[in-house]
Amino acid sequence: MNHPIKSVWLNQLLIGGGAIAAITLNSLMTPALSSPEPEVLEDNPKAIIDEMWQIVNNEFVDRKFNRVDWLEKRQELLGQEYSSNKQAYKAINKALKDLGDPYTRFLAPDDFATLTSQTSGELSGIGVRLILDKRTSQLFVVDTVKNSPAASAGIKRGDRVIRINDKPTALMTLEQAKQELEGEIGTQVSLQLSRKDKGVFQVDVTRAEIEIASVTYTLKEEDKVRIGYIKLDEFSSHAAEQMTQAINDLGKKQVSGYVLDLRGNPGGLLFASVDIARLWLKKGEIVMTVDRRGGDRHFSANGTALTDLPLVILVDQGSASASEILAGALKENKRATVVGTTTYGKGTVQSVHSLSDGSGLAVTIARYYPPSGTDINHKGINPDIYLDLSMEQQLQLKNDPELLGTNADPQYKRAVGVLKSNAASISLPATPKPVGLRWENLREAVMDENPQWERMNQ
């Protein structure tokens, strides 16, 4: 998920409430039109506009383009003069807005680079997640990536970042801090940190390629019932591998059931959601996609499930896209009990393309449906057990994420109650066998469009 992809016609798919699902294949655009061609020169801002137009023309799910004369739109766009790529970007955004689809959108080079980094589940840096306190302009470490250079250097959650490469962070934006932390693999970044029990100290960290943990898990003992708690933050390209490890490790500890937490998960790779569903589901349909020509594609379980122990899934209004595919498939196949609130409600698939200047374009190309065929777009998936949190409870969990999956978390407590009711009839599982994952050369990703925190991974 790291670097901008320079190939002009790299195609990717999106399914998220902010995420992008990607299918990597090289595709040629429809070449000629019957009307006279406006002159489009390479390295001219008009070239970016024409790339955008061609992709939308070939792929947008609404063949009527929201009643926009898309051919006339091309003539209009290429008939104007643009002094810079940024000016062309404004014209592109305006044209896409006319399509009436919030998920068909243009991504400036920096945004596209961030997206590709998120979807790959990898980043080049030192492995810290930073948060900016807007009230004090202070920069803090909110987390470190497991086995990252930052973790190895002893950097901890709560450390305040005073200087990066001898530059004070007091006047830095989060983006400026990110730029300071970026650099070639193998080079060093110097940090001055402050910690309550240690005071001010200096640390030099060597940059590396890092796999981001999308999955975290732990064994819970709840009244002598052993429960495997798994938190899935996003459906990156490594998420299914990490989920496999979580299920296997917890299974060896003889758990009686699992709680899979998808709350706040904005989505990710479509095929990551399919592969993860297959880890839980022995048989049954997972999802169906329908493109603009009416062609449908079905994805089903393939007999590679790792466990048949009871499963409870936690969802909320922030569970979108790939999260809804997974929750919907396991709920409708009666494989899991879903607890929480109604999910986000995004039932469309996008393709993501890189353009020749490093920018990107996401285009809605299909709609997806859970096994029942229900249209969840703008509706979401209703849980089996509806349990909302009070504003006070939401604020408490937001301010202290360590409370998630504890007795201070009402939705988790309800999930535990469901598993306890099944505990008497559960026999201990055999050690599951590892499963080889198949990616079928397809990727999908999701961006969080309404982040509650200004945050950054680096």
Round to whole Å and give the CA distance between 345 and 348. Answer: 9
User: What pLDDT, on a 0 to 100 scale, did the predictor assign at position 401?
Assistant: 87
For the ranges 101-115, 239-253, 290-304, the lowest mean pLDDT is seen at 101-115
Distance separating alpha carbons of residues 409 and 316, to the nearest angstrom: 13
pLDDT mean across residues, the chain: 84
Give the contacts of 255 (CB within 8 A, at least 6 positions apart): 219, 226, 227, 228, 309, 429
In a domain, 358, yes or no: no
287-301: pLDDT as tens digits: 999 999 888 999 999
Q: pLDDT tier at 451 (50, 70, 90 boundaries)?
A: very low
The answer to whether residues 95 and 82 touch, using CB atoms and an 8 Å cutoff, is no
Of 118, 133, 159, the one marking the end of a domain is 118
Which pLDDT band holds residue 24 (cuts at 50, 70, 90)?
very low
Q: What is the pLDDT of residue 408?
A: 96
Examine residue 129 and state whether it is found in any structural domain, yes or no: yes
Between 246 and 109, the higher pLDDT residue = 246
Q: What percent of the chain has pLDDT over 70?
A: 81
Per-residue confidence band for 339, with pLDDT thresholds at 50, 70 and 90: very high
Q: Please identify which of the residues 117, 321, 351, 354 carries the catalytic annotation.
A: 321
Q: What are φ and ψ of residue 284, in 5° steps?
A: 120, 160
Same domain, 171 and 83: no
- Give me the CATH number covering residue 204: 2.30.42.10
The answer on 228 and 148 residing in a single domain is: no
Task: Summarize pLDDT for 351-409 with one digit per residue, the tens.
Answer: 889 999 999 999 999 999 999 999 999 999 999 999 999 999 999 998 888 899 999 99
Same domain, residue pair 237 and 205: no
pTM summary value: 0.74
pLDDT at position 250 = 98
% pLDDT > 90, the chain: 64
CATH of the domain at 245: 3.90.226.10
User: Based on the domain organization, do 329 and 380 belong to the same domain?
Assistant: yes
What b/e sequence results for 49-60 when a residue is b if at least 16 CB atoms lie within 10 Å of its CB, and e otherwise?
bbbbbbbbbbbb
Tell me whether residue 2 is in a domain. Answer: no
Asked, for residue 416, whether it belongs to a domain, the answer is yes
pLDDT digits (tens, 9 = 90+) for 49-105: 999 999 999 999 999 999 999 999 999 999 999 999 999 999 999 999 999 999 999
Whole-number pLDDT of residue 425: 56
E strands, 58-159, where?
Answer: 105-107, 122-125, 128-133, 138-144
State how many domains the chain has: 3
Q: Is 455 part of a structural domain of the chain?
A: no
Q: What is the mean pLDDT of residues 410-438?
A: 68
| Helices (H), ranges, 160-308 | 174-181, 239-252, 270-280
With cut-offs at 50, 70 and 90, classify the pLDDT of residue 174: confident
The confidence band for 257, taking pLDDT boundaries of 50, 70 and 90, is: very high
Q: Are 194 and 162 in contact (CB under 8 A)?
A: yes
Contact 254, 429 (CB under 8 A): yes
Query: Are 27 and 85 in the same domain?
Result: yes
- Write the CA distances from 424 to 256, 257, 259, 339, 427, integer angstroms: 9, 11, 17, 21, 8
Q: Which of 169, 188, 211 is the last residue of a domain?
A: 211
C-alpha 368/C-alpha 64 separation (Å) is 20
What average pLDDT does range 194-220 have in this prediction?
Answer: 91
Secondary structure (H, E, C), 5-58 = CCCCCEEEEECCCCEEEEECEECCCCCCCCCCCCCCCCCCHHHHHHHHHHHHHH
Which residues, including other chains, have CB under 8 Å from residue 281's CB and lie 6 or more apart?
301, 305, 329, 330, 333, 335
Residues 227 and 334 reside in one and the same domain: yes
For residues 239-244, average pLDDT: 96
Dihedral (Cα; 368, 372, 376, 377), 10-degree rounding? 30
Residue 274 falls inside a structural domain: yes
346 included as an active-site residue: yes
Query: Does some domain include residue 1?
Result: no
Residues 72 and 148 both lie in one domain:
no
User: What pLDDT does 344 receive?
Assistant: 97
Position 340 scores a pLDDT of 98
* Sequence-separated (6 or more) residues with CB below 8 Å from residue 225: 256, 257, 416, 419, 420, 423
Record the tokens describing residue 448, joined without a space.
């969080």
Model pLDDT for residues 269-288, shown as the tens digit of each residue: 899 999 999 999 999 999 99
Give CA–CA dist 164/186, Å, rounded: 17
Q: Tell me, yes or no, whether 273 and 410 share the same domain.
A: yes
Whether 313 and 407 map to the same domain: the answer is yes
Q: Considering the domain boundaries, does residue 453 fall inside one?
A: no
Domain that holds residue 418: 215-348+365-446
pLDDT at 132: 85
CB 228 within 8 A of CB 426: no
Same domain, 97 and 164: no
For residue 30, is pLDDT > 80?
A: no
User: Catalytic pick from 346, 351, 354, 359?
Assistant: 346
Q: How far is CA 274 from CA 56, 271, 443, in A?
A: 26, 5, 11
Instruction: Identify the residue with better confidence: 20 or 280.
Output: 280
321 catalytically annotated:
yes
Which CATH number goes with the domain that contains 110?
A: 3.30.750.44
Asked if residue 13 has pLDDT above 60, the reply is no
pLDDT tens readout for residues 126-148? 988 888 887 888 999 988 887 88
Does 386 lie in the same domain as 250?
yes
Q: Which amino acid makes up residue 78?
A: L
- Alpha carbons 99 and 70: distance in angstroms, whole number: 9
Among candidate residues 68, 100, 118, the one where a domain is terminated: 118
Q: What is the DSSP letter of 446?
A: E
424 confidence band (pLDDT: 50, 70, 90):
low
Pick the more confident residue, 177 or 70: 70
Q: Are residues 100 and 127 in the same domain?
A: no
